[in-house]
Structure formats: C-alpha cells, structure tokens
Structure 1
Amino acid sequence: MQSRVEQIVIIGTGGTIAGAAGSATDNVGYKAGQLSVASLVAAIPALQAEPLEAEQLAQLDSKDMDHPTWARLARRVQEHLDRPEVRGIVITHGTDTLEETAYLLQRVLAPRKPVVLTAAMRPATAIQADGPQNLLDAVAVVKADGAQGVVAVVAGQVLHGLELRKTHSYRLDAFDAGPDGGLLGVVEEGVLRRFREWPRGEALGASLLPEDAARWPWVEVLASHAGAQARALQAWHTAGVQGVVLACTGNGTVHEALSAPIQALRDAGVPVWRTTRCAQGRIVGAPEEKAAALSPWAARIELTLELLKRTH
C-alpha cells in the first residue's frame, strides 16, 4: 500500500533544460522551452518507477520571466503543497533568472515541504546534456528526510533559495552560494549529503502577488559606474518609477552625479535601496540599508514585495 505523503509534482516552466538545437554539438544556438516537462521526465529511466505528476505551467526562455507567470507559479505550487499526499515539488526552469524565482518563492511561500528548482546549461539535444542528471538529483532532494524550503539543485550542488547566484555564463557548474553562504549540500549518486539547515522563514503568501502585470509596482535596478549620468534616474522619476535599487560600487558608494536625482526620488517618497555590484561581500557599516547583504536582483524582489505589502 502506498504512503499518503509520497507524490512528487514536477512543474515545467521552459528554459534551457527543455531547449532544442539543430545539432547535438550546438550548446549555444538552441531555442529554450521546446520540450514538455512530461517528455523530460519520460527520458530518464530511473524516474519511471517514481510516483510523479508532470504539469506544464509555462514554456518560457527564463530571460523573459514575467510577473504574471511568477504569480501563477506561486499559487500553483501552494495548491500542490496543500495536498496531503504531495511530498514536494520540482520546478524545471531556465538558468538566467533562476535565482530570482527561487528568492521570490522562498519569501512568498517559505514552505514546510521541499520546493526544488532545477535547470540546465546545455539544451536537451546536446551531447553533454546536464538536464537529466539535474532533474534526477532534484527528485532525490525532494525525497530526502526532513527536506523543506525552496532550494536549487544544479551540477550536484544544493543551494539555498535566498542565496544562490548565477556566476558563470557557460560552465555546467554555473551557480554559487553567494558571498557569505555556502552549499546546503551535495547530491552524490542519488544520496543527499547536507551541510546546513534547510531554508526557513515567514510566508508572505502567494495571494500577495497580483496576476495582473499592471498591479505590480515598477522597481528598477541602476548600476553606479565611472562616467555615470543623472539622466536615467531623472527619466525614471518623471515616468513614475516606484522604487529603485542601486547596484553600488565597492562598499555601497555611488557616483556624485547620481546624488541629486537620488535625493529627489527620496524626497518624493520613492524608496531607493543600496546594494553592491561586487560579486563577493556586502555593504559593511550601513545597518540602515535593507539590501546591504542582497544581490541587486534579490534586492529588487525584496523591495517589490515591500511595496506590494503596502497595497495588499
């Protein structure tokens, strides 16, 4: 007799893991999101005996991930998590915005069951396709005792949903654990070896995310750099931007040309958060900065969620 809590739901959103190219030796000239998630599962013999459900929620190149898809994904994941027979969720996703989707889902859902995002750096048609092993490893993490929270599994590494960052444009091991984190664990021959605690937190709730794109606040990211000019910030201000994240140089510094438009935004009630554009480290000595330890992309999501809470 089957256990009540054992079903694993695999939700497909597209990405390179479902991509196809005209040649098995072409790892970059492919089109993402061509294969169904059901076909990805069917191509892995080791998964055929598992109690799986495959569901296609989207077929996107993840560079084109959008707010309505995020809202639909969060709601659908929560619906499956609420089913007592579901052990956990696997989401197949593109690598370009994997870290953003993982961050959002952990903050919104903070699930007590595992939600595992996985992806690939090579299309499904490649000689060295990495998607099948990543998907197999993701299922292994869902089945691990005590697993919970949103994590990502890529190249045998298990990464915290609030910390992972894409750090390489081409290699199969394209993700890292962020500047001050570390791997949650590794998957070795189908067995999870865990190093840290699972993600935990307070769920904001999937209902916070509007399915209507027009109801999301407009939050942008601007990098400070040599020769920066005020015009971009001034134009955003005029156009009605509702929040800005600054990807600052070094330890949270910004070009002097940006000082006046930043102050004008703040005087108008538009939040402007600082983070660093550096790959390692955080802004030190600025406890008032809410984004001091976040990547610019995570900070943008965090500010977006804060603005949504104000109108919810």
Structure 2
Amino acid sequence: MQNKADRIVILGTGGTIAGKAADAADNVGYVAGQVSIEQLVQAAPPLAAYLLETEQVAQLDSKDMDFATWQLLARAVDRHLARPEVLAVVITHGTDTLEETAFFLQRVLAPGKPVVLTAAMRPSTALMPDGPQNLLDAVAVAAQAESGVLAVMNGRVHGAERLRKVHSYAVDAFASVESGPLGLVEEGRLRWLGAMPESASALGLSRIAKDAKDWPWVELIQNYAGADGRGVDALLAQGVNGIVVAGTGNGTLSVRLSVALERAQAQGVRVLRSTRCDAGPVIGGVLPSAGALSPVKARVELLLQLLA
C-alpha cells in the first residue's frame, strides 16, 4: 500500500511549450499545442529521477483558454491532490493567459499541496527551447514547496496573485509586481527569497459547478483620453453581467465613463475598478475597487463572485 506522498502529476494543456515550427530558427511562427505532455517529459531526461504521472487535460494555445477548460483543469487538479500518494501537481500552460489560470486555481482551490504552472516563450522545435528547463525547474519546486499555486519560469518562482506577464517576447517574460519573485531555482534547489503571501480560503469547486457555457459574462474596458460611456451602454444592451474597468492612475475615470458605469451598476451590473498601471492598488472612489488586482485578475475575481 502506498503511504508516502512521493508522486508528482503533470497536467498538459498545450501552449508554446508544446508548440512546433517548421524552422528551428523560427521562435514566433509556430503552432502551439502540438506536442503531448509525455513527449515534453521525455525532452527533459533529468525528470527520470522523479516519480511522475502525466495527463493531457487540453491541447490549445492559451490565447484561446476558455471557461470549460478552466473547469476541467480545476477538477483534475482537485482530484489528483486528493490522492494520498500525490505530493504535488505541475501544469504546462501557454504564457498568454497563465497568470489568469494561476489566479483562478488559487481562488477556487487554495490548495494545501503545491500546484506549479510552467510554460515557455520558445516552441519545442527552437534551437534553444526554454521549455525543458522550465518543466524540470517546475517539478523541482513542486517537490520542495509546501502549498499554494505557484508559477516557475526562467528560474524564478512567482505567487499566483502578483504574477504578471511583462514582456511580449523575451524568455524572462514574467515578474511579480511590487515584491519580486518568491524564490529562485538553482541547479534543482529551491531558494526562497520571501514568505508566501497569505491567501484566502478555498472557494471550492461548487462555485464553478454550473455548466461553463452558462457562466456570467464579465467584460473588460479601459479609461483613456476621450473615453466616454458608449461602450458601457453597448454592453448593457447586450446583457453583460459584470464590468471591470482599467482606470488611469489610481483607477481614475473620465466623467462620462464614470457616469455610464454608475448607471450600469444601478441597473444591477456588477462593476470593479482596477488600474492600467503595472503596480499599485486602487484606493477610494465611488465605484468598488479591485484592490491591487490587475484588470484580468479582477475579471476572474468578479466572475467567481457572480458564480456564488
């Protein structure tokens, strides 16, 4: 009988890490989600030192990530973490929406075992692919961390709440805003730089039990020079359920946009106010604040609130 938690489950969802290009010198003209999770593991021979199990949950480009896949992924993570022999779960993912998926899983599950997301900025066919090292580092972190949703890229460990993609092309594409990374992976060893931030208790899978096609519609809009309320009115006419607005500065909004959002709120549409700035919270104001959440994470938060 298995008594010791020593197995790490790797869930594949596609992304650039599983991408292929016709030319090894081409790092942008590839098709994402072409390589199986088993093949990704085989591409990093040192992973043979770990007791691993793989499962292909999805095979897509993360720009196309959807609610149905989030639902499948959350259920798969929860199912595997409940197994006593499983130490941790690693997820391979595309970079485009990785920060949203990480935050979604943290809010829904707040796992008591490590859940580590990793990705790549170059396809598997590149002359110098970053995927194998990132996957190896992610498994090493999964084996040494204690709990929570983490992301590992380029030797850095990030927490789900502060993680952001900050570069469109560079291998070092992710950062933890305001605080810097939580830790570093150095030749397979995890060195913590700071304590894991406290997180709220798990919302639970019951929050997302509704069929994904029936989840609320939460839209993102921005404040900018010349912004008015016409976009808000168009969303209202189409039956939007929630709106996250990325304001300028401290979540500031043009007078016309603010009036339109207040009108939407009065009609029962939930509104959260975030900021276009890369860091810092939204403080004060008439409309509800998203705190220090980025606009895309504020959208996830509002979505989960509406699913309650």
The two structures have a TM-score, normalised by structure 2, of: 0.96
Deviation of 1:48 (Å): 1.6
Deviation of 1:49 (Å): 2.9
Name stretches of at least 5 consecutive residues in structure 1 with no aligned partner: none
SS at 2:68's partner residue? Answer: helix
Note if contact 2:114-2:147 (Cα within 8 Å) is conserved in structure 1.
yes
What is the aligned partner in structure 2 of residue 249 from structure 1? 248
Percent identical pairs in the alignment equals 57
Note if contact 1:286-1:292 (Cα within 8 Å) is conserved in structure 2.
no
Note if contact 1:221-1:246 (Cα within 8 Å) is conserved in structure 2.
yes
C-alpha distance in structure 2 between counterparts of 1:291 and 1:71, whole Å:
23
SS at 1:262's partner residue? Answer: helix
- 90-99 vs 262-271, greater mean Cα deviation: 262-271
Note if contact 2:281-2:292 (Cα within 8 Å) is conserved in structure 1.
yes
Read off the aligned partner of 1:64 and give its amino acid letter. Answer: D
- Residue 157 of structure 2 is aligned to residue 158 of structure 1: yes
Deviation of 1:286 (Å): 5.0
- 288-297 vs 11-20, greater mean Cα deviation: 288-297
The partner residue of 1:185 within 183, 186, 202 is 183
- Residue 51 of structure 2 is aligned to residue 48 of structure 1: no
What is the aligned partner in structure 2 of residue 107 from structure 1? 107
C-alpha distance in structure 2 between counterparts of 1:116 and 1:246, whole Å:
29
Deviation of 1:2 (Å): 7.6
Name stretches of at least 5 consecutive residues in structure 2 with no aligned partner: none
Note if contact 1:72-1:211 (Cα within 8 Å) is conserved in structure 2.
no
Note if contact 1:117-1:138 (Cα within 8 Å) is conserved in structure 2.
yes
Going from structure 1 to structure 2, the CA distance change for 1:211 and 1:117 (only over 3 Å counts) comes to farther
Read off the aligned partner of 1:195 and give its amino acid letter. Answer: L
- Residue 279 of structure 2 is aligned to residue 277 of structure 1: no
1:149-189 CA-partner distances (Å, limit 9, x unpaired): 000000000000111000000000100102x3321101011
What is the aligned partner in structure 1 of residue 211 from structure 2? 212
Going from structure 1 to structure 2, the CA distance change for 1:47 and 1:2 (only over 3 Å counts) comes to farther
The number of equivalent residue pairs is: 307
- Residue 246 of structure 2 is aligned to residue 238 of structure 1: no
Deviation of 1:43 (Å): 1.4
Deviation of 1:271 (Å): 1.4
Deviation of 1:279 (Å): 1.2
The residue correspondences of 1:138-149 to structure 2 (distance < 5 A) are 138-144=138-144, 146-149=145-148
C-alpha distance in structure 2 between counterparts of 1:160 and 1:220, whole Å:
25
Note if contact 2:12-2:56 (Cα within 8 Å) is conserved in structure 1.
yes
C-alpha distance in structure 2 between counterparts of 1:290 and 1:181, whole Å:
21
Note if contact 2:2-2:85 (Cα within 8 Å) is conserved in structure 1.
no
Note if contact 1:157-1:187 (Cα within 8 Å) is conserved in structure 2.
yes
Going from structure 1 to structure 2, the CA distance change for 1:211 and 1:65 (only over 3 Å counts) comes to farther
The two structures have a TM-score, normalised by structure 1, of: 0.95
CA RMSD of aligned residues (A): 1.6
1:1-44 CA-partner distances (Å, limit 9, x unpaired): 98621000000000000000001100000000000000000111
Note if contact 1:12-1:57 (Cα within 8 Å) is conserved in structure 2.
yes
What is the aligned partner in structure 1 of residue 193 from structure 2? 195
SS at 1:48's partner residue? Answer: helix
Read off the aligned partner of 1:254 and give its amino acid letter. Answer: L
1:78-112 CA-partner distances (Å, limit 9, x unpaired): 00000000000000000000000000000000011
C-alpha distance in structure 1 between counterparts of 2:93 and 2:210, whole Å:
19
Note if contact 1:9-1:86 (Cα within 8 Å) is conserved in structure 2.
yes
C-alpha distance in structure 2 between counterparts of 1:276 and 1:32, whole Å:
31
- Residue 304 of structure 2 is aligned to residue 305 of structure 1: yes
Deviation of 1:292 (Å): 2.3
What is the aligned partner in structure 1 of residue 136 from structure 2? 136
C-alpha distance in structure 2 between counterparts of 1:65 and 1:217, whole Å:
16
SS at 2:80's partner residue? Answer: helix
